[in-house]
Structure 1
Amino acid sequence: MGMIKNILGGLTIAAGLGATAVSAETVIYYGHSGPDRGTVPAALKWYNSRIGELSEGDLRLDVQWGGALFKASAAVQGISDGVADAGSIIAAYFQKEMAAYSLADFPIGGPNAWVAMRAADHLMRSEPQITEHLARQNLIYIGTFTASAVNVACAGEPIRSVEDIKGKKVRGAGVYGKVFGEMGATRVNLSVYEAYQGLDTGLIDCSQGYDYIVPSLKWDEVIDSYTVLNWGQIGGYGMFMNKQVFDSLEAGQQEVLMQAGEELADQFAKIVNSANSKAMKAMTAGETTRKIEVIELSEADKAALNAAAEPFIADWMENARSVGLDADQLMATYTAAVAEFTAEFEAEGYPWTRSN
């Protein structure tokens, strides 16, 4: 399925003259593996509206939800081969193809969604080696999302410190689950959508997840505690486009897609922060189905988690080198961006809360 130019409109009779008026719109077929609800769909709808606004109605996404065009594990090939013109890619499924982008899945970016997304976006746009690596796969980077900060929900005994991880049966998320395994947890392979049943039946004691997941997947019906890790997030999740399709667009259309893509980090941070804040407020105020104890790990615990993540970061660097990327350069660019946007946040707050 390629990009198509739809001709819309019809006959217009103008001031006594017989005239035919047509309006053209460029439709970009977009594949998304998830359902049409939640934070990322809200951001995709914003993006669609924004490109329509910037292009004065010329550009539009036709989003195919629920894996109609491809499943999450087939997104790179689906977009590269032109099954869709563009789509959402989760880096965790593609360690070689998305070697650079998967750096955003490590705790280096910290728990602040806006900081981590701006840093990941800067990395993806500013490094020519990433652009070239994607081009060899017939891909163009457009913009980024994040699953947001990884925390842990438990049924029964809570996790109050890193010492409490040992012996727990845990559904993990990416490297964060691997670190829990290194700290003595038994890792159980379940999807986030299977965690409710696992918690309810005792198959697992705890599940890593995100604040907004608690109400959206009804974890508040089965958990007793929620531990804020203040650690990191799954940030290798974003919008990509078939390079041949992108190159076939007019320069002005390309600029619109990229401008809206750059604006996406701010917009999505606002969306996901709002969803997370609402969920956390409900938990701390006792407005959930069951009373949930909210616990926050100490700085010492966070340092222990980061130390346990170091071997996995070393593995990432080796993986990046294996596909011809300069891992040291990528790490330097990303960590510098994290520091820059952290300083900006501490000085000025979020962009949408600033007075000017």
Structure 2
Amino acid sequence: MNSILSRTTAVAALFLAGTVSAGAETVLRFSDYGPNRGTRAAALEWFAAELDKRTDGDLKIEFFWGGSLLGGRDTLAGVGDGVADMGTVIGFFTPKELQLYNIGDLPVENSDMWVGLNAMYDLSNSEMIAEEFSKANVKFVTNYTTGPVQLICRSEVSSLDDLDGLKIRASGPYGDTLERLGAEIVRMSQADVYQALDSGLLDCNQNYYYAMQAYRQYEVAPYVLAMDWGQNMSFGIAINEMTYSDFSDENKEVFDQLSRDFIDHLAEQMEQTDQAALESMVSGGEGAGITVAQLSEEDRARLNEASVQSIDEWTARVSENGADGEALLAEYQKLIEDYKAKQ
């Protein structure tokens, strides 16, 4: 009786921990806040299929989409506690636990997705950020990107001077920078932006080409200022440390290589999606076409200069909390330049 009870308890513990083993097969429960659609979700499905193939079926992934297992704000703690084995983590949701990882959301001078993803991958595997993840009982796996920031507006905006006094929905250090340039910043979710633009509550919205198309914002805001400004990349995948440590050495090697390969795969898919969305909106493929204005070189220099204050504020805040923010920023910027040189 005692042995039967012990076995039952052990099986229950495996389910509670989120890892289900059947013979040599291990099923990893993956929590994601988003729906199972779009480029990022397709890339995750690719990751799962490749993991299954490359480990000869030893490692499989079961997805829990739409926050059905853990909400976005709860994923870091939930993966660390073993509620899920893997999950999508967002640094913006956990600014205290992942303050160093939030470097990925700074408006640095790089809007190239491949460069940014590779730089963040290397940086997140460096000692400082790896230790930060480890304190949460998780291991960094790989990274996502939103792609470069653009502005979609109700009326024509062709320069930074035109932003003065406009009501712009923006977030994080990008919103802080736009505010310094004279904009009135409004905080709201993308789901509410369409109505706000349509009613005039907003003049412009910080967004990405593929998301403008997905939310059909071009219907009520037919003008875009192509800022090609930074990226949000405090946005990636983590795995429970104990789950990872239980992998065989061979499967760890496969898993780590796939995590690196994911960077190239996602960058290619995201770039194609963003470009296709832009071309469709410009051509009027889904209605009246949008008009795109390019940021001048003078304005770009001014935007980068204004961004420096947001970057410096982050560095100072991190340093006040006991970390070497300047050293981490220098490493990040060097990685960006190194990967630009490799293109």
> What TM-score do the two structures reach when normalised by structure 2?
0.91
Q: CA contact under 8 A between 2:33 and 2:71: conserved in structure 1? A: yes
Query: What is the CA distance between 1:109 and its match in structure 2?
Result: 5.1
Match of 2:262 in 1: 264
Segments ≥4 residues shifted beyond 6 Å: none
Q: CA contact under 8 A between 1:173 and 1:209: conserved in structure 2? A: no
Would you say 1:150 and 2:165 are equivalent positions?
Answer: no
Distance 1:59 1:89 in 2: 21
Query: 1:74-153 maps to which residues of 2 (within 5 A)?
Result: 74-108=74-108, 110-125=110-125, 127-153=126-152
Match of 2:9 in 1: none
Q: CA contact under 8 A between 1:3 and 1:245: conserved in structure 2? A: no
Alpha-carbon spacing, 1:275–1:26, altered in 2? closer, same or farther (3 Å): same
Q: CA contact under 8 A between 1:226 and 1:293: conserved in structure 2? A: yes
Alignment RMSD (CA, Å): 1.5
Match of 1:35 in 2: 35
Query: What is the CA distance between 1:175 and its match in structure 2?
Result: 1.4
Q: Deviations over 1:40-63 (max 9, x none)?
A: 111111110111121011111111
Q: CA contact under 8 A between 2:109 and 2:304: conserved in structure 1? A: no
Query: What is the CA distance between 1:67 and its match in structure 2?
Result: 0.7
Q: CA contact under 8 A between 2:108 and 2:307: conserved in structure 1? A: no
Query: 1:181-196 maps to which residues of 2 (within 5 A)?
Result: 181-196=179-194
Would you say 1:2 and 2:2 are equivalent positions?
Answer: no
Alpha-carbon spacing, 1:223–1:188, altered in 2? closer, same or farther (3 Å): same
- In percent, how many aligned pairs have the same letter? 30
Would you say 1:340 and 2:318 are equivalent positions?
Answer: no
The number of residues matched between the two structures is 328
Query: What is the CA distance between 1:239 and its match in structure 2?
Result: 0.4
Match of 2:224 in 1: 226
Query: What is the CA distance between 1:117 and its match in structure 2?
Result: 0.6
Distance 1:130 1:323 in 2: 14
Alpha-carbon spacing, 1:259–1:323, altered in 2? closer, same or farther (3 Å): farther
- Match of 2:130, as an amino acid? T
| SS of aligned partner of 1:261 | helix
Match of 1:57 in 2: 57
| SS of aligned partner of 1:229 | strand
Distance 1:310 1:132 in 2: 27
Query: 1:173-212 maps to which residues of 2 (within 5 A)?
Result: 173-212=171-210
Q: CA contact under 8 A between 1:96 and 1:319: conserved in structure 2? A: no
Q: CA contact under 8 A between 1:3 and 1:26: conserved in structure 2? A: no
Query: What is the CA distance between 1:147 and its match in structure 2?
Result: 0.6
Q: Deviations over 1:245-302 (max 9, x none)?
A: 2222222222222111111111111111111010111133232422211111012111
Structure 1 stretches of 5 or more lacking a match?
Answer: 8-22, 346-356
Match of 1:319 in 2: 317
Structure 2 stretches of 5 or more lacking a match?
Answer: 1-15
Distance 2:190 2:151 in 1: 12
Query: What is the CA distance between 1:323 and its match in structure 2?
Result: 4.4
Match of 1:172 in 2: 170
Alpha-carbon spacing, 1:190–1:27, altered in 2? closer, same or farther (3 Å): same
Alpha-carbon spacing, 1:252–1:109, altered in 2? closer, same or farther (3 Å): farther
Q: CA contact under 8 A between 1:109 and 1:233: conserved in structure 2? A: no
Alpha-carbon spacing, 1:129–1:52, altered in 2? closer, same or farther (3 Å): same
Q: CA contact under 8 A between 1:222 and 1:290: conserved in structure 2? A: no
Query: What is the CA distance between 1:319 and its match in structure 2?
Result: 3.0
Distance 1:228 1:61 in 2: 38
Alpha-carbon spacing, 1:139–1:325, altered in 2? closer, same or farther (3 Å): farther
Distance 1:234 1:333 in 2: 18
Q: CA contact under 8 A between 2:19 and 2:243: conserved in structure 1? A: no
Distance 2:88 2:146 in 1: 13
Distance 2:182 2:321 in 1: 32
Distance 1:284 1:220 in 2: 10
Distance 1:258 1:324 in 2: 30
